[in-house]
Structure 1
Amino acid sequence: MNAAHPTALAVACSPLADQQTVGLLAAELGLPFIGVVKPKKVTDYALLLYADENGLALQTTGPGAPGPVRAEFCAGKAGYRLEHGGGTGQLIAKAVGMQKTRKTLHILDATAGLGQDAFVLAGLGCRMTLIERSPIVHALLADGLARGRLNVTAAPVIEQMTLLAQDSARWLAQGEGSVADVVYLDPMFPHRKKDALVKKEMRVFRDIVGDDLDAPDLLAAALARATYRVVVKRPRKAPQIEGPEPATRLEGKSSRYDIYPIKAFPSS
């Protein structure tokens, strides 16, 4: 995700958070720390990076604002998947090629975001490396992973996930040779129409990180460093990333996976 610098963001906390720790995070991110506040009463900032008893979150301010957005692996959709399991028949598992090999796949999620897709793949047995270049989103994801490690069910899955703070396109372009069996991309593209149904997370993310305008460079770098394939997740009707034509596509109800094979997977 793009590391665009927010213009209306501050760091704050509830009375139950450790103010010193939160203040240090604000200093690290170069953001103002406004101390203990109630988000609905804040008027000077549109968004808060807010710490409370449930962890770190992005919170829209003002009365009637939607609830917080946080990296969550023990509750919500991620928690439901964890409790009820999921097999290699899932579309994302097919997209990365899990049905084609018995090999434990190492997958580089180069646009990690809040880590939901990486968590699904880790839960299916893949070894995941996550890269997130937005310092704010990285902080949210690191917090979510830390909380997840305290959960007896989530912890073994999260042990399969390694988080890096890097710009993926630059990081991939600077080296040579394979970095992973599969490189997985889910870039943020320009949103061309106003849609009230756009997910809360996506609206907040756009306010923070902007669009991934370097997606063609990221795809090219990924193709140069993946061993077996590159997989790009896109909204179902969205255009493909500028560059080579994907060899195949897998479509779901709202999203699809563009698949760029490099060579065949080993059978074992």
Structure 2
Amino acid sequence: MTETTEYRIAVGWQLAAQRPAAEALAQRLGLECRAAADVAQGLLLCLGEDGLSLRDTAPGAPGAVRVDFVEGALAHRRQFGGGTGQMVAKAAGLKGSIRPTIVDATAGLGRDAFVLAALGCQVMLIERQPIIAALLADGLERARQAGGEVAQIVARMRLIEGDAIALMTAWVDEVPQVVHLDPMFPHRDKSALVKKEMRLFRPLAGDDVDAPALLSAALALASHRVAVKRPRKAPAIEGPPPSAQLSGQSSRYDIYGKQRLV
């Protein structure tokens, strides 16, 4: 994929009534705006009946990506995902009645944060890429509007758009017990969904070349632990060695413990 600066990105709308909202989003992001049907090249960030989505308009490109906390894979995971037995829950220290406060400093599409919030944690999400943050904000708003259990879960999620290193270095909120990190890396997962997301997001976000600085800021902020998601066979992020590891089929968590969660 080409670098972000070489990639054309436009905001579009499907219905005429969505045009004002699309134009406001485009102005905020500094992007061109036009009817979705008129965008024939590059990436399209589109307002449609099912919310905000991102897709590549090239022939043969994979389908659109959007954040959906109400239905689909996350709904299934919420009901049948294994509760605190899930690797992300173990890595964050959930056990018994322990539900730490968490900062997810690389929020992405919010999947890990949603799992942690569904299990009862208060989660602050940080996303520095504005287009990905817009997708996440749209998914959170649709979940609030859906009501019921999903709305209760996302009420425990708060999104901040900005650079996580700068925000954690000058933190002004309550100090989180846990910081969760999932720096961008070349996914080896074979699923079509992961391939589609990486193909769309890599030209936007790139690799997290500042991962060592991100880890350093997280370690300085978290009161109890930092949990870092990595490819199973990848080296640890440059810096102090992890105090523990949890391994799955394709990924693992490097855990940096500071004090015991009780």
In the superposition, the TM-score normalised over structure 1's length comes to 0.88
| Matching residue of 1:160 | 156
| Matching residue of 1:22 | 22
Once residues 182 and 163 of structure 1 are traced to their aligned partners in structure 2, the CA distance between those partners, rounded to angstroms, is 16
Partners of 1:177 and 1:225 within 8 A in 2:
no
User: Which of the residues 194, 201, 221 maps onto 2:197?
Assistant: 201
Check 1:192–1:68 CA distance in 2 against 1; reply closer, same or farther (3 A cut): closer
Once residues 192 and 162 of structure 1 are traced to their aligned partners in structure 2, the CA distance between those partners, rounded to angstroms, is 27
Residues 40-55 of structure 1: matches in 2 within 5 Å? 42-43=39-40, 45-55=41-51
Partners of 1:6 and 1:209 within 8 A in 2:
no
| Matching residue of 2:37 | 37
| 1:251 to 2:260 alignment | no
| 1:150 to 2:145 alignment | yes
Size of the aligned set, in residue pairs, is 256
RMSD: 2.2
Q: Relative to total residues, which structure has the larger helix share, 1 or 2?
A: 2
Check 1:177–1:142 CA distance in 2 against 1; reply closer, same or farther (3 A cut): closer
Query: What is the deviation of 1:37?
Result: 1.3
| Matching residue of 2:129 | 134
170-179 or 48-57: bigger deviation: 170-179
| Matching residue of 2:13 | 13
| Matching residue of 1:217 | 213
Q: Secondary structure at the match of 2:85?
A: coil
What stretches of structure 2 of length at least 5 have no aligned partner?
A: none
Once residues 115 and 205 of structure 2 are traced to their aligned partners in structure 1, the CA distance between those partners, rounded to angstroms, is 23
Check 1:6–1:105 CA distance in 2 against 1; reply closer, same or farther (3 A cut): farther
What stretches of structure 1 of length at least 5 have no aligned partner?
A: none
Once residues 46 and 169 of structure 1 are traced to their aligned partners in structure 2, the CA distance between those partners, rounded to angstroms, is 30
Q: Deviations over 1:108-150 (max 9, x none)?
A: 0000001000000000111101011111111000000000112
| 1:117 to 2:92 alignment | no
| Matching residue of 1:83 | 79
Q: Percent identity?
A: 49
Once residues 164 and 55 of structure 1 are traced to their aligned partners in structure 2, the CA distance between those partners, rounded to angstroms, is 20
Matched to 2:99, the amino acid is T
Matched to 1:15, the amino acid is L
Higher relative contact order (CA 8 A, sep 6+): 1
